[in-house]
Chains A and B, each alone.
Chain A
């Protein structure tokens, strides 16, 4: 057996002798690396899960929507080299749930071949079975909707379109890659399972239902690997032209409204194409996951920065306390590089242990976070696998960070002269502190108060470094809590302040604003306001954003608009208000002209002056007066929905009356919408929960380390105080007061530091559909500061106990460790 060189044995023994401090640093590394590996692997898992789902269920690369097209057109497109094409029918319907209340909800029908799974945009059977061959009265139901309404295979569902009502038997429940995030439209992104369901109907039945015999109104395309999209789509266009579709427009190639007008007059038919990246569900999921990816990098960077600082401080103090040993090693003939590598070795050992354990823990966290998200979204395919490059990268970072932090103190050992290093350090120069100069009465204070003040200022470097440790802990805890506060504020602002209606009634397409007046007179209704929401493209200079415009009554009491400062405001006559996501996308300033172009139709192109910005956490829309929105359509009195406030709990009879209104497609209750968004945030809560726990653990480790080293390196001083007769309790008071002073400095630094970092982090998590503002409630400041101070006070206990038990004769004469 090869004997371990004594220098290495010294390293191991020194680590063991100071295992609490080094253990704390190892914990810091573990937390930092676990956070990185956990978050980033989870992000990779989610990305792989989506892509896996799309691959397994053969999600389309392109969707082409038309008014109608012969089915054979899809067959012709199939003949284009590298293209797999499939036609289908997609149409919106109403679902009659056959409840006492007469409740109706919105539905979307998508046709599928019966007897065999489709080539593109397949579904995965969750219960029951696929559509049987030749099935006429069978449907498949999207799982979430089915679960909510407790609909099972074998149950019957009534689907309405125009005045036609047909009953269908549910053959099975499914998940679809196109509806992982189930949403009705870009204007109704947060559709609850209660009010919108996706139905998969046999092709022949759908043709009959929609009166499209032998026709399709959507073609899905998949381009095989290596196919040139430009070439392939050019051929597809040719096929479309052969069947009377002269234009193929898309988000990247929009058609000007003026051209649309001409097309309408001339009877030119247009198809609209979207790519997978713009497909609603995929786009929303990617935004969500991208936001998460940013946090997955930011939090670990924050944690590891604190880790680097803690390691630097610890190693610095270790080198300082082992000056005599360093001098001895030089005296014995150890080379400077040997000594430097010896002290770097402490950082290396800490890094290796921390990174290995951190990577393993991170992997477990990744599994947990992935499964939470998968459950939330009911992902058809969940990829939970080790991403070794992430684990490896995490481990590498976990070694590099401490090594880098430890280099400077290790390098300092090479500059020590052996003779000086072995001499006791010269006593510090004595002088009155700045505090005593500024506040002379300090000198008159009793020693139990004077000593902590003097000690604090006499070794400002030590006090400052310890305060930085406390500040880091506070900042870490505060940043994590700020996300909790931001989500709470977000939910409160959106659902208590802005949306202070009880329900929103959605029309099927466009209806009459006058319906609101009718509804307001129904018993049980306190108030009703019409609203008009239109999909619009907004442009300012070169910047373009696809969003929607919400037309609100100027005196609306049920939809409160808030300025960026949080003050209530209202829609502006002849002006437009933009939400924060639109503000960021368009880069416009109040007074700028915003070009408005309808996404569909040829009416409503105009320019409006930007009147200001609105703080709406959810939505990312523009706002204008209802009347002006109606003027865009050149249709006075039009609306797409009604906001309702009930007089107490709405009775079943009232609900029945509402559902019976011919225009009504669905009614969305605010409380349910709020719960839905809350559920969506479930993953975010899990992530923040993990970050908060990590932040606390990290904070504890940093403070414990700092306090312990701070007490232990003054053991001689403490021993002398005891030797001259100072009681243990007095000593504890002095040390505690000094630590509290440092703690207060830490609070003073930590709070602004935490606020700054929280604001920065929040700014990185922007999404098109959601904007969270950095908010820190007073309780969070209190929790962070009190936690840090409590940890500080508790952390000093082991160190004080240790110095209390030391041998006074030994400690008073041995100035080195």
Chain B
């Protein structure tokens, strides 16, 4: 009988890649200097995977997230998301791609300050024809009592949960999280990761988290280290930790 780790590996092996990067590079022109933010990065993120990209400031992790999410275009290489080569898409097609395939969760929440929690979720939901109700999603993230509040009336954790609810509004298969707990306290941060892990496990969402906090890696299926725009190493977690046990 296969043991648990074998089962996990088997499960992983049977998954299709949801995200594939092939020799992706991204350079930025800063005056006369060309700064390589990413250099010939090649890897895959499998369907249903919870992956963490770790790296210090300037390692290229946010650039990587932006490229996967279609917010930016690579200088070279290919990015294939759910069988679509997004490097070949036009601006309009990329917009459509982001609307239906990606849910973004930012470090600073990026909520519209003049809309309530419900309205912030609906702001994204209205982009697609068939969408779940904002109230239902907010209920899922535990904000049923705070739906009519504006961002300025919510705590940091509540704001981030609204942001997560917004990211779920169009039911995208992929969630991209850029330092989602960067501005939150430890306990709140744990709750956020619990939520993300739950979404990954129960709704089979691909969750990509970029962070500099190495402790987070423990809850991921895989941890990819980035340094100077290149992959420096990969660790598979056969037994990812329960976010409740997180300590940093």
Residues of A that sit less than 8 Å from B by CB = 5-7, 9-10, 13-14, 16-17, 324-325, 327-328, 330-336, 417-419, 422, 813-814, 817
Contact = CB atoms under 8 A, between A and B. Distances in A.
Nearest to A807: B152
B95 A17 contact: no
Interface in B94-139: 95-100, 102, 104, 106, 108, 110, 112-115, 119, 122-124, 126-127
6 contacts: A328-B104, A328-B110, A332-B124, A422-B106, A814-B108, A817-B113
Contacts of A14: 114
B104 A9 contact: no
A332 B66 contact: no
A6 B123 CA distance: 5
Interface in B67-102: 69, 71-72, 91-92, 95-100, 102
B170 interface: yes
Contact of B92 (A335, A418, A813): A335
A6 B115 CA distance: 8
Contacts of A325: 110, 112
A13 B104 contact: no
B115 A9 contact: yes
Contacts of A336: 91, 95
Contacts of A10: 112, 114-115, 123
A472 to B, nearest CB: 30
A17 B98 contact: no
Nearest to A328: B110
Given A6-B119, A419-B72, A334 B110 contact: no
Contacts of B98: 330-333
Contacts of B96: 333
A17 B123 contact: no
A332 B95 CA distance: 8
| Size range of the chain B interface in the assembly | 20 to 34
Contacts of A324: 108, 110
B110 A6 contact: no
A817 B102 CA distance: 25
**Nearest 8 A/B pairs, CB to CB:** A333-B99, A13-B114, A6-B123, A419-B71, A419-B66, A418-B71, A419-B72, A333-B98
Contacts of A813: 183
A107 to B, nearest CB: 75
B110 A13 contact: no
A333 B170 contact: yes
Contacts of A335: 92, 95
B121 to A, nearest CB: 9
A333 B100 CA distance: 8
B127 A13 contact: no
Nearest to A6: B123
B127 A331 contact: no
Given A17-B114, A330-B98, 17 more contacts: A6-B123, A6-B126, A9-B115, A10-B112, A324-B110, A325-B112, A330-B95, A331-B71, A331-B98, A332-B127, A333-B95, A335-B92, A336-B91, A417-B72, A418-B71, A419-B72, A813-B183
Contacts of A331: 69, 71, 98, 102, 104
Interface of B: 66, 69, 71-72, 91-92, 95-100, 102, 104, 106, 108, 110, 112-115, 119, 122-124, 126-127, 166, 170, 183
Contacts of B69: 331
A327 B98 CA distance: 12
Contacts of A334: 95, 127
B99 A332 contact: yes
A420 to B, nearest CB: 8
B230 to A, nearest CB: 20
Given A419-B66, A422-B106, A332 B123 contact: yes
A581 B147 CA distance: 74
Nearest to B111: A328
Nearest to A11: B114
Contacts of B108: 324, 814
A5 B95 contact: no
B150 to A, nearest CB: 9
Nearest to B28: A420
A14 B150 CA distance: 13
A330 B71 contact: yes
Contacts of A817: 113
Nearest to A18: B114
A368 to B, nearest CB: 40
B114 A6 contact: no
A705 B11 CA distance: 62
A6 B91 contact: no
A330 B102 CA distance: 12
Contacts of A332: 98-99, 104, 123-124, 127, 166
Nearest to A17: B114
Contacts of A9: 115, 119
- Counting chain B CB atoms within 10 Å of each CB, which of A334, A336, A814 scores highest? A334
- Counting chain B CB atoms within 10 Å of each CB, which of A5, A331, A417 scores highest? A331
Contacts of B122: 6
B123 A7 contact: yes
B147 to A, nearest CB: 14
B72 to A, nearest CB: 4
- Counting chain B CB atoms within 10 Å of each CB, which of A6, A9, A327, A418 scores highest? A6
Nearest to A815: B108
A31 B247 CA distance: 63
Contact of B110 (A17, A419, A422): A422
- Counting chain A CB atoms within 10 Å of each CB, which of B100, B106, B113, B115 scores highest? B113
Contacts of A16: 114
A336 B92 CA distance: 8
A13 B127 CA distance: 20
A574 B114 CA distance: 81
Contacts of B183: 813
A336 B96 CA distance: 11
Nearest to B125: A6
Contacts of B91: 336
A356 to B, nearest CB: 24
A330 B96 CA distance: 10
Contacts of B102: 331
A324 B104 CA distance: 13
Contacts of B106: 328, 422
A17 B151 CA distance: 14
B14 to A, nearest CB: 31
Nearest to B108: A814
A10 B126 CA distance: 13
A468 to B, nearest CB: 29
Contact of A333 (B110, B114, B119, B127): B127
A335 B91 CA distance: 9
Nearest to A13: B114
Contacts of A418: 66, 71-72
A155 B122 CA distance: 85
Contacts of A333: 95-100, 124, 127, 170
A6 B119 CA distance: 7
Contacts of A327: 71, 110
Contacts of B104: 328, 331-332
A799 to B, nearest CB: 18
A419 B114 CA distance: 22
A690 B123 CA distance: 46
A762 B230 CA distance: 71
B30 to A, nearest CB: 9
B159 to A, nearest CB: 11
Nearest to B176: A331
Contacts of A419: 66, 71-72
A305 B224 CA distance: 58
Contacts of B112: 10, 325, 328
B194 to A, nearest CB: 25
B205 to A, nearest CB: 17
A417 B95 CA distance: 12
A813 B99 CA distance: 29
- Counting chain B CB atoms within 10 Å of each CB, which of A5, A9, A16 scores highest? A9
A336 B126 CA distance: 16
